[in-house]
Amino acid sequence: MGLFKQIKDMKDMVESAPGLIESSNEMAANAQAQAAAYQAQAAQFQAGGYPGAMPGQAYVNNLGTQMHGEPTAEALAPINGVTLETYTAIIKSVGAQGTDQAVLDQAAVAHGVKPADWAAAKDGWGARLKGDRALGAKFNTLYTAP
């Protein structure tokens, strides 16, 4: 009976592969597009393209969000022991396998992260990345590095 389940599982995996590959390709393309957009924005900041910004100076918008430069220490604080570097390595390691929760959980365990810690870190880093351009730029740099 175990053999038939394994065959069924393999069949299911093969059937889902094209969609997972497409999802992964979209994630990679988005990361590259975001990195290119950040680089263009960084060049504009360094040229003093925003009111009050001096060349090379970080710009903080009226909401207090740092728009250029390095993320703050608070933004880089680990979530349940998971650093931005570990989070990025896990996301990057699944690559063509997509964002299936089971695959992400397995990748997290392979990086020494417990499933409960990964669940909290995944949600926490996702929220932080949406609200902080400097942190998002750091993530993109880590994600697109060879």
**Whole-number pLDDT of residue 56:** 42
The CA distance from 6 to 66, in Å, is: 50
The CA distance from 132 to 16, in Å, is: 34
| pLDDT-derived band at 98, boundaries 50, 70, 90 | low
Give Cα separations from 72 to 60, 63, 75, 93 (angstroms): 12, 15, 5, 26
Segment 103-127, tens digit of pLDDT: 888 888 999 999 899 989 989 998 9
Give the other-Cβ count within 10 Å of 45's Cβ: 20
Segment 27-73, tens digit of pLDDT: 877 888 787 777 766 665 555 444 444 444 455 555 555 455 788 88
Segment 66-93, tens digit of pLDDT: 455 788 889 999 999 999 999 999 888 8
Q: What is the pTM of this model?
A: 0.54
- Tokens 């003093």 locate to 48
Inter-axis angle of helices 133-144 and 2-46, nearest 10: 120
The CA distance from 122 to 136, in Å, is: 14
The CA distance from 137 to 39, in Å, is: 9
- Partnered with residue 66 across adjacent β-strands are 60
Any idea how long the chain is?
A: 146
Top-ranked range on mean pLDDT: pick from 16-20, 93-97, 137-141:
137-141
- Tokens 């900041």 locate to 45
- Tokens 């009226």 locate to 62
**Which residues lie closer than 8 Å to 44 by C-beta, 6 or more apart?**
50
**Whole-number pLDDT of residue 114:** 92
